[in-house]
């Protein structure tokens, strides 16, 4: 399996701050050929207050640039996962300057999400009604110039539509990643993609990572009552729905697993539908009811692997 979104760089940086790598080393045992072989390793940013509460009081410090945080986390991950296929990502550009992208690209950055849930100077997440800004257009231009992947997860609908319109105006059709977003028709959360957004994605080379977080899979009124069996069935329904619109070659899987938050956010740490230590086995079993062996391999690995190979050639 290739996990299209896991906050591995954030976990690594937090371990560095605490000088305690126990949980990180334990978690990394899940990365092997029979389970998770590849990952988009993500370093994420939100409001300073939320970062202090959810991750670590010293997670983000103004005197330490994002580039240094990225370097420290990436070095740790490379040391602990020498044989894993890794795409490096940053989520939320609130503290990032456009000119820093070239440095980050040289350091190994390959994927970028403009926003988390808040509004920043580039675009807006789901806690705002605003859209793509002029600075955001400049950032997209730089992302395309550097051949980084633009990841649209976490954008609100206006930013999402503004970005697609801007790309069409510029006559650009880059590969787009939507690394951890589900179908809104099945779970009405703003983070999920509605039917219009999914339809518009048919005009682009893209890959959607359907992610196995209960809160974005099962409806709000059912999420606390749904059994694991029901949660897993509904998760596969999300995959089936997005495949029906985009096709088998444009769908992958992501965990966005938050088990590592258990010390900070006990309830959120329980939202993972699949146990990460055996996620590939269980996903494969659930997908076998609907897809051929070849199709399952595409969803779990091949579709994402193609993008990893593109990065290796750059």
Residue pair 100/67 in contact (Cβ under 8 Å)? The answer is yes
Q: How many whole angstroms separate alpha carbon 155 and alpha carbon 177?
A: 12
Q: How many whole angstroms separate alpha carbon 116 and alpha carbon 94?
A: 9
What does the pLDDT look like over 38-88, one tens digit per residue?
Answer: 999 999 999 999 999 889 999 999 999 999 999 999 999 999 999 899 999
Residue pair 207/307 in contact (Cβ under 8 Å)? The answer is yes
What does the pLDDT look like over 117-142, one tens digit per residue?
Answer: 999 999 999 999 999 999 999 999 99
Q: How many whole angstroms separate alpha carbon 193 and alpha carbon 9?
A: 26
CATH classification of the domain holding 135: 3.20.20.140
> Helices in 29-156 by DSSP H: which ranges?
48-54, 66-80, 100-107, 134-145
What does the pLDDT look like over 160-218, one tens digit per residue?
Answer: 999 999 999 999 989 999 999 999 999 999 999 999 999 999 999 999 999 999 999 99
Helix (H) and strand (E) counts for the chain?
12, 8
Reported confidence tier of residue 261, pLDDT bands at 50, 70, 90: low
Q: How many whole angstroms separate alpha carbon 296 and alpha carbon 284?
A: 7
Q: Which domain holds residue 146?
A: 2-313
Total of domains in the chain? 1
| Residue appearing with tokens 């998770």 | 36
Query: Which pLDDT belongs to residue 2?
Result: 97
């Amino acid at each position: 399996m290739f996990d299209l979104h896991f906050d591995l760089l954030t976990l690594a940086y937090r371990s560095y701050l605490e000088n305690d790598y126990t949980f990180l080393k334990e978690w990394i045992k899940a990365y092997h050929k029979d389970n998770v072989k590849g990952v988009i390793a993500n370093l994420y940013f939100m409001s300073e207050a939320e970062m202090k509460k959810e991750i670590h009081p010293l997670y983000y410090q103004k005197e330490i640039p994002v580039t240094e945080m990225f370097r420290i986390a990436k070095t740790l991950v490379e040391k602990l996962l020498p044989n894993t296929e890794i795409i490096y990502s940053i989520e939320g550009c609130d503290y990032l300057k456009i000119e820093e992208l070239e440095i980050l690209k040289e350091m190994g950055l390959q994927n970028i999400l403009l926003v988390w849930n808040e509004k920043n100077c580039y675009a807006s997440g789901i806690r705002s009604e605003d859209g793509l800004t002029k600075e955001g257009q400049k950032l997209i231009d730089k992302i395309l110039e550097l051949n980084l992947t633009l990841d649209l997860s976490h954008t609100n609908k206006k930013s999402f539509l503004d970005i697609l319109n801007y790309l069409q105006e510029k006559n650009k059709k880059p590969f787009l990643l939507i690394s951890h977003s589900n179908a809104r028709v099945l779970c009405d959360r703003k983070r999920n993609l509605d039917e219009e957004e999914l339809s518009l994605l048919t005009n682009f080379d893209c890959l959607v990572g359907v992610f196995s977080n209960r809160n974005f899979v099962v409806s709000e009124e059912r999420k606390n009552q749904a059994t694991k069996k029901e949660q897993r069935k509904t998760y596969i329904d999300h995959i089936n729905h997005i495949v029906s619109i985009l096709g088998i070659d444009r769908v992958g899987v992501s965990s966005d697993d938050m088990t590592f938050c258990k010390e900070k956010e006990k309830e959120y740490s329980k939202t993972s539908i699949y146990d990460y230590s055996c996620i590939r086995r269980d996903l494969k079993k659930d997908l076998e009811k609907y897809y051929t062996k070849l199709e399952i391999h595409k969803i779990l690995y091949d579709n994402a692997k193609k993008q990893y190979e593109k990065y290796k050639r750059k």
